Structure 1
Amino acid sequence: MTQQPPQIISSESPFAGDVFVKRHPALIERLIAVWPFAPGQRRALSELVEENVQGVIRPLPDSAADAGLWRDWGSSLYGQPWTSVPFLWAESFFYRRLLEATGYFEPGPWRGVDPFAPFKQAELAGEVVSAEIAALDDVAALADEERGQALLLSSLWGNRADLGFQITAGRGIEASGLVADDSARLWELLRSETGGTVALVADNAGSEMVADLVLIDHLLTHGLADQVVLHVKPSPYYVSDATLGDVADCLRALLHSKGKARAVGERLREAAALGRLRMRADAYFCAPFDFTAMPEGLRREFAPATVTILKGDLNYRRLVGDRWWEPTVPFAEVTDYFPGRVAALRTLKSDVIVGLETSTLAGLNAVPHWRTSGTHAVVQVRS
C-alpha cells in the first residue's frame, strides 16, 4: 500500500465538524420525538449531545459488556473534544454511546430495540420504494446487459429518490454524476469468473437494500455468481445502516408486491434456503477502524471471492482509509492490501476520495461541496 497521509480530524474539516455540532444533536432530537424514552434515557442522550458540541469524550461505563474493548480502542482519545480525534473513530463511538444511552445492549424492555427503526420503516413504506418496485416490470424488459447496468446504478445511488430503478435505456436520469466509472471492468470480471462467490458488503437499509437484493437476484439468476454472501451490520449503526432484520423487512416488501418484484423475492427466498444467498454480520463492521485492521477471519472470507463489492460512503472510507489523500492517487494502489478483488460503489458524502483523473478533478474543483453533497458517485474496481 502506498504511503498514507494524515487521518481526517473533524476540526480540520467543516463537513466533519458539522456532524458533531449539528447533525448528531438533530438526530437525537428526532429520536426523543419518536420514542417514549424514560427520564434516564433522555438524560443520557442529552448528555451525549452536550459532549458532542462542547464537551470531551467519555468512555463507556464499566458495566458495558464491551467496555474493556472500547477502553483499549480509545485509550489515547478519551478526555479530548470529539472534534479533535480521528473522524472515523469518533463517529463510530458516537453510535456506540447512543445505543448505550437507549439501553440497546442492557437487560430490559429496550434490549435489542433498533432506535432508528421508525426512520427505516417510514422509508420502506414510502412512495420511493413503491415506485422502484413498480418500475421493475419495465426494467425486466431490457436486454440482459442493459438490465444489469440499470440495477448496478440503482444499487450505487441507493436512496436517491430521483433515480431508483427508473434508469432505463433511452430515458430517465443519465449517469452524469459518476466521476469514476469502472462498471465495464466489473461486468467483465463477473463474466470471466462465473460460478464463484460474490461478497456484497451492504450499506443502507430501505430503498438501497431493496436495490441491492434485486442486483443480487440478477447475479444469481444470470450465472454471474453461484453464491452471494451479504454482509450486514450486527447491530444498529449510522442511522440507516442495514442489519439482518432490515434485510428481512426488504425481502418481505418484495414478496408482498406483485409482478416481477414478487418473483425476485421468491427467488431470493429459495436461494437462501439452498445456501446460495448467505448472510454474515461480523462484529468488525461496527468497529472504529478501517479495513487494514480487519480480522483474519474476514480476510479468509474475502480472499477467494470473485469480487467483494463494498457499498456506500462509510465502507469506502474504511476501504481506502479516512485520510487526506491526493484525489488522483490510483485506487488500485490504495487498496492493494485488500484480500482479493474489490469494487466500490459509493455516493460521495464525505471528504475522502482517490482514483480520479486529473482532468476530472479540475472540473470538480469548480463545483461547491462536490465531495460531500451526494450528487457525485464512483464505481471503482481493483481486479
Structure 2
Amino acid sequence: MAAVPASLAGRFKGSFAYFTIKDRMPQILTRVIDTLHRHKNEFFEEHGEKGIEAEKSAIALLSKLRNELQTDKPLVPMNDGLPDIPLWNQYLEYQRNLSDGNEQPSWFQSPWLYVECYMYRRIHEAVIQNPPIDDYDVFKEGKVQNFFESQQAIIALCTYLQELLKNIEDLDEKQLQEEFFKLLQVSLWGNKCDLSISVGEDNSQKVNPFKSLDDMKPFILVDDMESLWSLLINSKKRRTSKEVIRVDVVLDNAGYELITDLVLADFLLSSKLVTEIHFHGKCIPWYISDTTKRDFNWAIKQLQSANNKWMSRCGINWEGSIEKGVWVYHDHMFWTLPHEFCSMPQVATDLFAELQKSNLIIFKGDLNYRKLTRDRKWEFTVPFHQTLNKFHPAPLCSLRTLKSDVQVGLKPGQGEQLMTSEPEWMISGKYAVVQFDASL
C-alpha cells in the first residue's frame, strides 16, 4: 500500500486551499459581519438594547476571528459549552501532537479541511455566546434567496415529478431506469448551486434542469450510475413483503439542491425501489448553504403554500411521508466536526451503527467527498475504495460536482489531460462524478 499523501493545506502556495484561506474565508467572515450589522434594527425591535449589545459583541468576536485567520495565528480551544466542544478541543490537541510539538496548529499550516470546519464552528460560537440573538442563522438570507431565485427550475422539477407519478405503476424496468438516471443527474448537478464556493453570491438555478442533461453528460468524469441501478433493482426484486429497503442521503446545500434531492427521494419511494429514506443534515448553520432541520422544514412548508399546484402537491406529499415515518430527518453533530469519515466508528459509534442499517448511502457534494477521501493530494488514479480507508458502513455513493482540488478514481491520463486543457477543472463546478463503492 502506497504511503498516504499530505493533507491539502494553505501552506501549499498557489493551491486552491491557499487561495481559499487567504481570500475566500476572510470574505465569508466579512459577509457574516455585514449580515449581523444589517439586521441591527431587527435585533433592536425584537430584543431592545440587549439585541444591539449582542450584535456588537458577536461582531467583535468575528472581527477578532478574521484577524487571527489573516495573520496566521495559532488555533485556540473553544468554550461555548455545546456538547461537541470536547471533541473539537481533542482534535486541536491531536493536530498539535502531529507536529511533534514543533509548532502550534495555525490557519495556513494545518490541514485545509480542519481550518475551514473550524472557522464555521467559530462563527457559530460567536453567535451562540450572545443571547438573545444566539438562535440567529447568519446564512439564512442566502439560502432563502437561492430558493426563490431558483423558482422556475423548482416549478419545472415539481411538475415533472407529479406528471411522472401519475403513471409510475405502468413503467417497465427500462423506463424506470431511464427516469432514475435522469433524476439522479438532476440531483448531481443541483450540487452546482453552492453558496460557499461563490462566497455567498447568487448561485441559483435559473433554467429547466432537464433541458441540459444530455449536454452535461460528457462532464461526468466517473459514472457509476449503472452500479447504483443494479443494486436498487436487485434489492427490489429480492425483497420480501416485510423487508425494509433503506436509502440514506447525506445532504449538502439547502435551497434548490435540496429540492432536487427530495424529488429523487420521492421517485425512489413511489417506484418502490426503496421503502424508506433517511436524510442527514447539519445541526448548526454550516458552510453558508448547508441544510439544517430548519431549512428542511422551511422548504417543505414553502412548497405546500406555493400557488403552483404541482409545487404544493409535492409539499403536501412530502409532509405526509414524514408523518408516515417513511422519510426521516437526522442531524448528528458528527457532520459538523472536522473529522474524516473513516474515524466515524470511533468518534460517532451511534451514527455509524445507524448508517449500517442502510442499503445505500448517497453522499451529496464536495465537503462530503473531501471527508470521504480524507482531503489529500492523491494521484488521480488512486481507487476511490482505497481513499475511504475502510469506511464502509454500507454500499455508498458520492454525487459531487468538483469544487476543490481532490479527485480520485480517474482513468490513467484523464486528470493530466484535463490539467492541460482546463487548469481550473477541479474547482469550477463544471465537472462531476457519480462514484460508487460497494465493498463492505
* TM-score in same-fold range (> 0.5): yes
In the TM superposition, residue 286 of structure 1 has moved relative to its aligned partner by: 0.6
Match of 2:371 among 282, 301, 318: 318
1:309 equivalent to 2:341? Answer no
- 1:141-164: per-residue Cα shift (whole Å, max 9, x none)? 565433322221121122445687
- Do structure 1's residue 264 and structure 2's residue 314 form an aligned pair? yes
Moved more, 54-63 or 20-29: 54-63
> Which residue of 287, 300, 303 corresponds with 1:251?
300
More displaced stretch, 373-382 vs 37-46: 37-46
- Alignment-mate amino acid for residue 166 of structure 1: P
The runs of 5 or more residues in structure 2 that have no matched partner are 41-51, 97-102, 165-174, 194-203, 237-243
1:39 to 1:240, Cα distance in 2 relative to 1, 3 A: same
Answer yes or no: is 1:357 the counterpart of 2:411.
Answer: yes
1:151 lines up with 2:183 in the alignment: yes
Partner residue of 1:341 out of 392, 395, 418: 395
* 3-state DSSP of counterpart to 2:394: coil
Aligned-pair CA distance for 1:32 = 2.4
- Shift in Å at residue 80 of structure 1? 3.7
Q: Structure 2: how far apart are the matches of 1:341 and 1:67?
A: 31
- In 1, Cα distance between the equivalents of 2:89 and 2:213? 53
Q: Is the 8 A contact 2:363 2:398 kept in 1?
A: yes
- Residue 191 in structure 1 maps to residue 233 in structure 2: yes
* Change beyond 3 A, Cα 1:196–1:210: same
Q: Distance in 2 between matches of 1:288 and 1:147?
A: 36
Query: What pairs with 1:1-383 in structure 2 (closer than 5 Å)?
Result: 3-12=3-12, 14-35=15-36, 36=40, 38-62=55-79, 64-65=81-82, 66-75=84-93, 76-77=95-96, 79-101=104-126, 103-104=127-128, 106=129, 108-126=131-149, 128-138=150-160, 143-158=175-190, 159-160=192-193, 161=204, 166-168=209-211, 173-194=215-236, 195-257=244-306, 258-294=308-344, 295-335=348-388, 336-366=390-420, 367-383=422-438
Q: Structure 1 residue 256: deviation in Å?
A: 2.6
Query: TM-score by structure 1 length?
Result: 0.91
Say whether the 8 Å CA contact 1:167–1:174 is kept in structure 2. Answer: no
Residue 241 of structure 2 corresponds to which residue in structure 1? none
- 1:28 positional shift: 2.0
Quick check: 1:8–1:323 contact (8 Å CA) kept in 2?
yes
Distance 1:210 1:88, change over 3 A: same
In structure 1, what is the Cα distance between the partners aligned to 2:85 and 2:375? 25
Q: Deviations over 1:1-52 (max 9, x none)?
A: 9752222222116211122221122112222222227332222111111111
Q: Which residue identity does 1:114 align to in structure 2?
A: D
Contact 2:153–2:205 (Cα < 8 Å) also in 1: no
Local SS of the residue matching 2:108: helix
Deviations 1:252-286 (A, max 9, x none): 23223323333222221111111100011011001
Q: Is the 8 A contact 1:325 1:353 kept in 2?
A: yes
Structure 1: tracts of 5 or more residues without a match: none
Q: CA contact under 8 A between 2:18 and 2:108: conserved in structure 1?
A: yes
| Secondary structure in 2 matching 1:84 | coil
Query: Aligned partners of 1:125, 1:119: CA distance in 2, in Å?
Result: 10
Q: For 1:131, what is the secondary structure of its paired residue?
A: helix
Deviation of 1:107 after TM superposition, in Å, equals 6.0
Which residue identity lines up with residue 40 of structure 1 in the other structure? S
For residues 219-270 of structure 1, give each alpha carbon's deviation from its aligned partner in whole angstroms, at most 9, with x where no partner exists. 1111111010100011111111111111112112322332333322222111
Specify whether residues 284 and 323 from structure 1 end up closer, same or farther in structure 2 by C-alpha distance, changes over 3 A only. same
Change (3 A) 1:133 1:172: farther
C-alpha contact 1:327 1:361 (8 A) present in aligned 2: yes
CA distance in structure 2 between the aligned counterparts of 1:305 and 1:138, rounded to whole angstroms: 28
Greater shift in the superposed pair: 28-37 or 348-357: 28-37
Deviations 1:180-234 (A, max 9, x none): 1111211221111135010110011111011111111111111111010100011
Equivalent AA in structure 2 for residue 364 of structure 1: L
Distance 1:265 1:108 in 2: 33
Letter in 2 for 1:11: R
Q: Aligned with 2:217: secondary structure?
A: coil
Change (3 A) 1:200 1:100: same
**Post-superposition CA distance 1:75-124 (Å, at most 9, x none):** 244844301001111111111111112x22x3621122111111111111
Is the CA contact 1:292–1:337 (under 8 Å) kept in the aligned structure 2?
A: yes
User: In structure 1, what is the Cα distance between the partners aligned to 2:154 and 2:80?
Assistant: 45
Residue-by-residue CA offset, 1:301-335 (whole Å, 9 max, x unaligned): 22231100000000011111111111111123333
Q: What residue number does 2:200 align with?
A: none
What CA distance in whole angstroms lies between the structure 2 residues aligned with 1:278 and 1:94? 29
Contact 2:58 2:130 in 1 (8 A): no
Q: Name the CA distance, whole Å, in 1 between partners of 2:229 and 2:405.
A: 28
